[in-house]
Amino acid sequence: SDWGRHTDALPLEERALQITEATLGPDHPNTATRLSNLANTLSDWGRHTDALPLEERALHITEATLGPDHPNTALHLGNLAALRELLGDPTPGEP
C-alpha cells in the first residue's frame, strides 16, 4: 500500500537530511532539498503542520544561497504555497 511506502520513506528522508546537514552544513542548497523532500513525505502523510517549517527553512536557505530569482527558489515558493493552501492559510504575499 501507499502507506507502507510512506512509512519506509520517512526514516530514510530524516537520515538523508542528517547526513547532508552534517557534511555540507545547515545552510547548503542540498540541505534545502533534503528539507523539502522530508516536508513532502510528511505532507503525503497529512502532516502538513509538521511539513510547513521544513519547507519555510528550505525556502530561506535557497533564497539566501542561490538568490530570489533562482528556479529552486520558485520551486520552494510553490511548495510552500501548496502547504499553506492545504492548511487553509489564506495569507497572500511573502513567506
Annotated domain spans of the chain: 2-86
Q: Residue 1 has what pLDDT? A: 43
Q: In this structure, which amino acid lies at residue 50?
A: D
Over residues 19-28, the mean pLDDT reads 98
Give CATH for domain 2-86: 1.25.40.10
The yes-or-no verdict on residue 59 having pLDDT over 60 is yes
> Alpha-carbon dihedral of residues 21, 33, 36, 89, nearest 10 degrees?
110
Phi and psi at 54, nearest 5°, equal: -70, -45
| Range 52-77 average pLDDT | 97
**C-alpha cell of 93?**
504575499
Residue 4: per-residue pLDDT = 54
Query: Cell numbers at residue 40, please?
Result: 513532502
pTM summary value: 0.86
Predicted local distance difference test score (pLDDT) of residue 92: 53
